[in-house]
Structure 1
Amino acid sequence: MKTLQIPPRQSGVTLIELMVGLAIGLLVVAVAMGALMVSRGISGTVSDASGIQQQGAYILRVVSQQLRQTGSLYLNPDPVGGNSTDVLSPVAFEIKADAVGSGNSFIQEESLSGAGTSVTTAFRRYQDNVFLADNATSTTIGTDFLARNCVGAPGNSSTDQRVESIFTFDSTTNELQCGGNGTAAQPIAQNVAQFQVTYMVQTTDAAGNTTVQYVKGSDMPAAATDPTWRRVQGVQVCLVLYGSEPIDMPAGSSYTDCAGTSVNMTTLTGERKNRMHLLFRNTYQLRSQGLL
């Protein structure tokens, strides 16, 4: 007799099982997307903070290069024009330079000025001996003006005897600009919320007691020839930078500005709204201390 073959029973998933599987899959995707968004937000915030730190360090480095040279003098080893080679021969500090070329002269008493949100620095410009290698077998010695201001001026062909840098804060564009030696002001930093300059002024009373007090730039005299500028021993620079990455801030998030005032970041508007703000402050002692 022939045995009757029973076909195997087909198996599969029910509609309920399919819906449960889809729900679990969508839940996993949602969790992964949430984790990705959180990771992206943290990464953006860290990158934004790093960018602000780098820009702040750059600004302070540029400002320090000029401020620390303010009022520095030229040590002339040949004051009488005798071309002496004796290392023990007299030397002279040149505290004044004639106005030549564009008329940009150097006067020691006017090496630092700038009331309000700007500051002008200046120091004596002179030539240095440099080695010029024209080819592999020939080396010559020439002279060059190595000193430059904040924007790379003046050029080597310029006859200016004063290197000046004029730092100015433009509140309309939120930029810190710099110019000098006839060069138009150029932005050297953006996203600047505040720029404040404070001067360390040394005073001596009739009894010979010396004190140093901090004076805001807005309280300094406008005239560069005022005797107050001659008593400046140091300069404190403070600035607040903000980022470009919008972040979610809890209510009441704030920072302390250069004036010591607490600023609620959640109330800011425009391009500073929901942006990270960092404060940078540094104090520079002038090289010309005691010589002005």
Structure 2
Amino acid sequence: MSWLTDYVRPRIRGLLHRDVPDNLWTNCGSCSQMILTKELHRNMNVCPHCGHHMRALVADRFAWTFDEGSWTQAEVPKVPADPLGFRDQKKYTDRLKDARSRSRLDEALAVAHGKISGQPAVVAIMAFEFMAGTMGTALGEAFIAAARLARLQRAPLVVFTASGGARMQEGMLSLMQMPRTTVAVEMLKEEGLPYIVILTDPTTGGVSASFAMLGDVQIAEPKALIGFAGPRVIQDTVRETLPEGFQRSEYLLEHGMLDMVVERKDLRETLGRIIGLLNGVRTEGQPDGPVPDAAPPSQAA
């Protein structure tokens, strides 16, 4: 070996080597463009090239939804960690520990209360980063706690959905959360409190078949996948080619299943305007003119 190989080459490699963080760049899943992660976060996880709305963490959604410094995260009830003693390739309790370690969340639904455009609101956000946002008994209890908090504060409940469906490790107990969360929604409606749902990508399975589609106002982010079963499963079942854009936000809006599709940067303003209209409160930027009287809670639809 020559001195060039033994001495010069290692020195040059050492001079050229720089520690580059693994998360410095993010690849857009739609247009495949590389985006600086910091720039992407400043843009609310929306691709600046094609407008693709990427998934977002719970903490970020809270910060983007509430007025700055106005919100407080709420405690939710604890439930038995493994009611069925389930095990597949690994124990369910171990899966929960891994999910909590990676996401820094206790469960797949987080609840907070604060103000949106100066108006009180309770917000519940599903965490896709926690076991794909699957619905189990803990999520059901958290949703019911959010509804009770909204009733206690006489405030609207805003729910962001993102889920792969029911949590198989809890079997029938997971499926029972569908009627339980539906009853919680009815409790809000009996009190005349607004229930607003923002569907994000993806919202599927038992979540889409229960509380996700029961909002007084149904909003979705652009091109979000929304449905019960996946399009490939449906196509294989009916043996027909599905329409273009099937189960996407824009398709559902066109067919009357949504009230609006709103870009992430406009969500806070849109929510503030909707809550103000439902409460009979004029919000900033609302056109001049009389504000419709809000019906008393006992008379609201």
Fold-level similarity (TM above 0.5):
no
Question: Which protein has the larger Cα radius of gyration, Structure 1 or Structure 2?
Answer: 1
Q: Relative CO higher for 1 or 2, CA cutoff 8 Å, sep ≥ 6?
A: 1
In the superposition, the TM-score normalised over structure 2's length comes to 0.21
Which has more helix, going by share of residues?
Answer: 2
Which has more strand, going by share of residues?
Answer: 1
In the superposition, the TM-score normalised over structure 1's length comes to 0.21
